[in-house]
Amino acid sequence: MDPSEPPPTSHPDLAEAVPRLARASVLVVGDAMLDRYVHGRVERISPEAPVPVLGIEREIAQPGGAANVVRNLTALGAAVAFVSVVGDDQTGSELTGLIGGQPGVEPWLLVQGGRTTTRKTRFLAHGRHLLRADREQTDAIEPRLALRLLRIAGDAMAATSATVLSDYGKGVLAGETASKLVACARGMGRQVLVDPSSADCGRFAGADLILPTARELAAATGLPSETDDEIARAAQTLAARHRFGAVMVLRSEIGISLIGPQLARHWRLPEDERQDLFGVTDAVLATLAAARASGIGLAEAGALAALAAESVARHPGTAVARPDDLLARLALAPLEPHPS
């Protein structure tokens, strides 16, 4: 077989959809942060206190938060406009350089003087998390800056096919900013996909698709959200309450569920491949956005997102799912959803 050809798959429709992801143009608005990884080895306990001593071997810095959604979109080949806010500190400068260095990204990183740019430092020993240390500021961005962000985002919406709101609770989408962005996108006929990162889903009322975790879904609706049937009922309640077009639920190591009009699908993560769930939400959101921006149907977009979740969960750290990864996953397993 020609190595340039995709591997054979029992899902030809999905395989044909994968190259279409690179045609997408997506606007991402949300909280940017810097993810720093400190890798090393632990071979002794400190004589000063009963804590491990990490012998540092290497350090890696990557865009995190909403910027990791951008990173996943560019890995799929999509064109991305990114609107966010950083502080006038060293972390903000480093993050701006990392984001601006990615191909296919048009960054609009507004600077707020005196603001602390969010930085998460993870210490890993032998590939396993030992400790995480955060430096952040979570209050809402300045009102004048929020107005400028809305103007820039509105212009970027006109040039893109879908809008992603990635809320990590760090202030960029605080107050009325989220609802105004949803209204603007809907007025332009653009798809809106949201990661709320909290149970406060009402701020995004009217979005086409929202991605709560099972815990956030339960908190938002007051309904049990463990079994497939419970997830479906709670998601339908959430959608009706806030006029969401569909709800995709991130169910930790279990997998993901997609609930929409006349649609209920549940995909399981293989038990032997749940190595690291960090970054799965960003990969799922990016894949969904690229698929919907490319005109791919909701059910097929959900299946592609499930492939992305499987691919990213297999790798430690903040991995991304590329088109070849999705095709490889299709070739490995039948990927049959479990309908309710």
Domains defined along the chain, listed by start: 12-33+63-119+136-332 (3.40.1190.20)
Catalytic residue among 31, 228, 276, 282: 282
Q: So what's the pLDDT on residue 190?
A: 96
**Average per-residue pLDDT in the chain?**
91
Half-sphere exposure in the Cβ direction for 117 (13 Å, CA) = 28
Residue 5: pLDDT above 50? Answer: no
Confidence of residue 332 (pLDDT cuts 50, 70, 90): confident
CB 80 within 8 A of CB 28: yes
CB 30 within 8 A of CB 69: yes
Q: What percent of the chain has pLDDT over 90?
A: 81
Q: So what's the pLDDT on residue 9?
A: 41
Confidence of residue 336 (pLDDT cuts 50, 70, 90): low
Between strands 246-250 and 209-210, the pairing is parallel
DSSP state of 8: P
Whose CA is closest to 106, among 140, 75, 152? 152
Beta strands in the chain (DSSP E): 25-30, 32-45, 52-65, 79-87, 105-112, 119-125, 128-135, 162-166, 191-195, 209-210, 246-250, 255-260, 263-268
Q: What is the mean pLDDT of residues 308-314?
A: 87
Q: What amino acid is encoded at 60 in this protein? A: I
Residue 165: pLDDT above 90? Answer: yes
Question: In 53-140, where does DSSP find H-type helix?
Answer: 66-75, 90-100
Residue 301: pLDDT above 70? Answer: yes
Q: What is the mean pLDDT of residues 62-90?
A: 96
Confidence of residue 197 (pLDDT cuts 50, 70, 90): confident
CB 270 within 8 A of CB 310: yes
CB 217 within 8 A of CB 235: yes
Question: Known catalytic residue: 282?
Answer: yes
Helices 298-313 and 280-293, interaxial angle, to 10°? 150
Confidence of residue 268 (pLDDT cuts 50, 70, 90): confident
Residue 218: pLDDT above 80? Answer: yes
Residue 6: pLDDT above 60? Answer: no
Lowest model confidence (mean pLDDT) among 48-52, 75-79, 103-107, 273-277: 273-277
Residue 34: pLDDT above 60? Answer: yes
Tokens coding 317:
């750290």
Q: What is the mean pLDDT of residues 35-50?
A: 95
Residue 192: pLDDT above 50? Answer: yes
Q: How far apart are CA 176 and CA 110, in angstroms?
A: 18
Backbone angles phi, psi at 6, to 5 degrees: -70, 155
Q: So what's the pLDDT on residue 324?
A: 93
Dihedral in degrees, nearest 10, Cα atoms 277, 281, 286, 288: 110
Q: So what's the pLDDT on residue 318?
A: 67
Q: So what's the pLDDT on residue 314?
A: 77
Q: So what's the pLDDT on residue 319?
A: 81
Question: In 34-89, where does DSSP find H-type helix?
Answer: 66-75
Q: pTM to 2 decimals? A: 0.91
Q: So what's the pLDDT on residue 313?
A: 82
Q: So what's the pLDDT on residue 3?
A: 35
pLDDT digits over 109-143, tens only? 999 999 999 999 999 998 788 999 999 999 999 99
